[in-house]
A and B are shown apart, each in its own frame.
Chain A
Amino acid sequence: MPQSLDYLKETPSQTAGPYVHIGLAPGAAGFDIYREELGWDIAGPNAKGDRIRVEGIVIDGTGSPVKDVLIEAWQANSEGVYAHPEHPGDVEDGFRGWGRVITNFETGEWGFDTVKPGAVPGRSGTLMAPHINLWVVARGINVGLNTRLYFSDEEAANSNDPVINLIEWENRRKTLIAQRTERDGQIVYRFDIRLQGEDETVFFDI
């Protein structure tokens, strides 16, 4: 017998289930318990840059909206800095860059307010186009799904993005691009996520 490798194994994932809101967004489940729920304010009051809204819907393989999903967002600030000790640079006071959002139980629509992130350093000196990292969990999703939201008004940066360009099927790259619109003077990006089937969103093993 060779020597043993003493690594531990990662705890296996299980679905978040239909009642994920109780734990992570109890107000939506129908009760008030914590002083403050986490993740409702991604950017904080002092963040510089463009204030934006992101909206979408999650659609399953039958074409139906998924109404019990929870999405977490992780993003850099407008200067491309993550609020994390391993990222050189500072962020604005109150900027966490993380949030969570649930869908409307009747329509499946979700949305959050934030600031548009800046470009972020990629591997080996590359630059990644501005993007928001998303993690999707729900009943029926056995391991949380990772994807990225890029912005339709960043065509040049997107075309040089090392992650987008890693996707061999060019026709699938568009599933990661949120479409910019304006509504009542507010910048709104639309980002629908298709779990399965035609125009299935690209998901990553990170």
Chain B
Amino acid sequence: MKKPGEFYQRDREWHPPAYDKDYKTSVARSPKNALISLQNSMSEITGPVFGHNDIDAIDNDLLSNYAQDGQSPIGERIILHGRVLDENARPLPNTLVEIWQANAGGRYRHKKDTYLAPIDPNFGGCGRTLTDENGYYYFRTVKPGAYPWRNWVNNWRPAHIHMSVFGTAFAQRLITQVYFEGDPLIHKCPIVNTIPDPDAIERLIAPLDLNATIPLDTIAYKFDVVLRGRRSTLFENRLEGN
């Protein structure tokens, strides 16, 4: 039995660089020195384990997890669903997926958000779930609205849902953003465009998934997440002791 080994090197040319002059906040928050490359040790190949005791079943339903009894948030009702896989296309079961987003008007429920669009009294804007044994997850929510932000004076964020994923190791930890097929704002966004490779940007765009809709009820978008994969060759450098 081969033990799973180290993680594949993260492709830093596929991810956005730390510094991007067009995403102004990155200018003073980007390290100037090169990252020090580490071969994996126990500190990187392990990571927190979560279970169903940590969360509640309602946590993945943003249509109801902050709504008052008998009410629901305003906006397009959507299902966001997909699988969490690794680069070897193996599903990652029982991994924690957390999301957060603006409401249908483009307003966040956050004490620091002062955009003039109103707070929705029935919408919190966050959810979390564990993938099932096949790496599958789903959320029910409303489609978030676009909103303006100060970068240049006329920047608008495309509709997006923030997503945080764990995997099995601290080396796999990832936060990204989910965009929606057909949104003309995607390719105008300086945050999206921190990603240098157009193919990589496409990977963040969730397609409309009519097969996963609930007819006459809720429309659906599909978003698969890929975390780093692991080597399994017999010719490892020794990761562990002796």
Residue numbers of A with Cβ under 8 A of B are: 6-24, 26, 29-31, 33-36, 38, 60-62, 64, 66, 68, 72, 74, 76, 82-87, 96-98, 105, 120-125, 128, 131, 133, 135, 137-146, 148, 163, 166-167, 172, 195-197, 200-206
Contacts and interface: CB of A to CB of B under 8 A. Distances in A.
Given A11-B227, A123-B238, A140-B25, A96 B45 contact: no
Q: Quick one: which of A84, A85, A128, A202 has the most chain B CB within 10 A?
A: A84
A26 B126 contact: yes
A206 B170 contact: yes
Contacts of B142: none
A104 to B, nearest CB: 13
A197 B203 CA distance: 33
A14 B113 contact: no
Contacts of B240: 121, 123
Interface of B: 4, 8, 10-12, 14-18, 20, 23, 25-33, 35-50, 54-56, 59, 65-66, 85-89, 96, 98-101, 108-113, 124-126, 128, 162, 164-165, 168, 170-171, 173-177, 191-192, 194-195, 200-201, 203-204, 225-229, 237-242
A205 B38 contact: yes
Contact of A96 (B48, B113, B204): B48
Nearest to A197: B32
Contacts of A203: 31, 33, 35-36
Contact of B229 (A7, A196, A206): A7
Contacts of B200: 9, 12
A85 B3 CA distance: 13
Contacts of B47: 74, 84, 98
B10 A205 contact: yes
The majority secondary structure among interface residues of chain A is: loop
B195 A12 contact: yes
Contact of A22 (B10, B55, B109): B109
B237 A123 contact: yes
Given A11-B203, A16-B162, A19-B112, A33 B126 contact: yes
Nearest to B240: A121
Contacts of B101: 22
A28 to B, nearest CB: 9
Contact of A204 (B37, B48, B56, B239): B37
B33 A86 contact: no
B102 to A, nearest CB: 8
A14 B191 contact: yes
A13 B15 contact: yes
Nearest to B56: A35
Given A84-B49, A96-B48, A133-B43, A24 B31 contact: no
Given A14-B191, A16-B175, A195-B28, 7 more contacts: A16-B162, A17-B177, A31-B124, A34-B59, A72-B173, A76-B43, A196-B28
7 contacts: A7-B88, A11-B226, A13-B175, A86-B42, A123-B238, A140-B30, A205-B37
A159 to B, nearest CB: 18
Nearest to A60: B28
Contact of A14 (B38, B54, B126, B175): B175
A137 B177 CA distance: 14
Nearest to A6: B89
A23 B65 contact: no
Contacts of A166: 36, 38
Contacts of B11: 9-10
Given A13-B15, A34-B59, A121-B240, A204 B110 contact: no
Contacts of A133: 43-44, 170
Contact of A206 (B44, B65, B201): B44
Contacts of A38: 50, 54, 96, 128
A99 to B, nearest CB: 9
A53 B83 CA distance: 38
